[in-house]
Amino acid sequence: MGILDNITKLLDERKIKQIELTNYLGVTKNTFSNWKSGRTQSYMKYLPQIAEFLGVSVDSLSGNKICTSNIQKFFDVGYDEQTGVLPVYGTISAGLGIVAEETLLDFEAADKRYIDGNHFYLKVKGDSMIPIINDGDLLLVNKQSTLDNGDLGAFIIDGEEGIVKKYEYTGKQINLISFNIYYPTKEFVGADMERVQIVGKVVELKRKF
């Protein structure tokens, strides 16, 4: 459940009208409708006030631990309407493999065209994809269940191991290919192909220095 879903749920449970919240925040009555339609994410910067109004913590609104100051900063610095924020989930392995965690780590700025409920960031751990992808990089992922040959994808193996690899499907097997020559290709033949779940396609890389 997303942050806005949690806010709406709490309003319903407390029998509070949306206009009471927008009046408390000092925003127009149409603001909540714009939030629900996805036209703006400005509710992010009001999370502390919304939490106070509803009598809950910011963490409970998010459904997880988040860095409120990092959410606030994207609006404080004056990003325009073409920019929003997306959740950063961690971590997905790009090395020997770790358990993929459904943990909300942070929020990161993204172009408004990606603010569609279908994109998110994953933080990479490992070195199997160097020199193209480094440990700590953020990968923008579009959630989808299919890929074309040559696509860079995020995958879950056996329901728990998360990895980033180049995708290749031959008709009889799936190959998940590392960029680092010291890591062998992961091959899944026949029934073993069912072990591979496609999480989505990597569409952008963000690196911080």
Distance of CA 98 to the CA centre of its chain: 18
Spot the catalytic one: 62, 93, 128, 178.
128
- ∠71-2-73 over CA atoms, to 5°? 5
Distances (CA, A) of 140 to 66, 197, 203: 19, 18, 6
30: Cβ–Cβ under 8 A, 6 or more apart, which residues?
A: none
Q: How far apart are CA 148 and CA 48, in angstroms?
A: 43
Spot the catalytic one: 45, 123, 125, 165.
165
Q: How far apart are CA 190 and CA 173, in angstroms?
A: 6
How many other CB atoms sit within 10 Å of the CB of residue 96? 12
AA letter at 115: I
What are the beta bridge partners of residue 110? 84
Residue of 174, 169, 162, 172 lying closest to 202 (CA atoms): 162
- The question of whether 145 is a catalytic residue gets the answer no
- The question of whether 123 is a catalytic residue gets the answer no
Active site residues: 128, 165
